[in-house]
Amino acid sequence: MKKFIVITLTLLFSIASFAQNDVTKFLGIPIDGTKSDMIQKLKQKGFTYNYSLDCLEGEFNGEQVIISVITHNRKVSHITIIDKITRSESQIKRRFNELCRQFEMSEKYYYLGDSQEIKESEDISYNISTLNKVYKANFFQTDANTANLYKHLKSNDGTLTLVEVMKLEEDLLKKGYYKQVWFLIDKDTNGKYRIAMCYANLKNEANGEDL
């Protein structure tokens, strides 16, 4: 019981402290500050700014992409990354699953529950068009210390069960301590697919203060 309390409090203070002093990063750049500053920093990373479309273009994770900088109250809140190249149903399924594996293997991220990969037998065309199903994978960005602690707890070594870990994470998530990254499959009017990804700083997004 004592061990449970110590580790639980360690997790709480670690994440709370980390959230107070850090925000989501994209290519090492904190998602914060003004839009113009963010654009300049992304240009320094090799991206080209398209003035007519108000977006940046370049290569990210081996893919040609379009990047949009989204703000709220003049502060950057989200970075969205959209594939330039469209794919067939089988191709997008492979790309989605490969991204899942890349995130799952990275020590920079962790996730709730089981693997978020799409089953080979899944009819994503029918599910998206007819059932309005959204194929989306959610991850949390963190530092190495918090990630290692999470892995220790998730190992279910008797200190905490997986259900207890997930409940703890859900409680913290409601308080906005996490830095979120997600991606989903987008289907266009021509029946082609692409990946849309988002790095979010929840601290800067709208929370109803303007209502």
Q: Measured between alpha carbons, how far is 40 from 38 in angstroms, rounded to an integer?
A: 5
Burial 6-31 (b: 16+ CB within 10 A, else e): eebeebeebbeebbeeebbbbeebeb
Q: Are 13 and 4 in contact (CB under 8 A)?
A: no
Which pLDDT does position 166 carry in this prediction? 66
Instruction: For Cα atoms 53, 59, 61, give the angle at the middle one, nearest 5 degrees.
Output: 130
Residue 67 in tokens:
């990047």
Terminal Cα distance for the chain, rounded: 45
Confidence at 204, pLDDT banded by 50, 70, 90: confident
Give Cα separations from 27 to 44, 79, 141, 165 (angstroms).
Answer: 11, 11, 12, 29
pLDDT digits (tens, 9 = 90+) for 141-195: 876 555 555 665 555 554 556 666 666 666 655 544 568 899 999 999 899 999 9
Per-domain residue ranges for the chain? 2-204
Residue 73 in tokens:
């109250």
Which pLDDT does position 110 carry in this prediction? 78
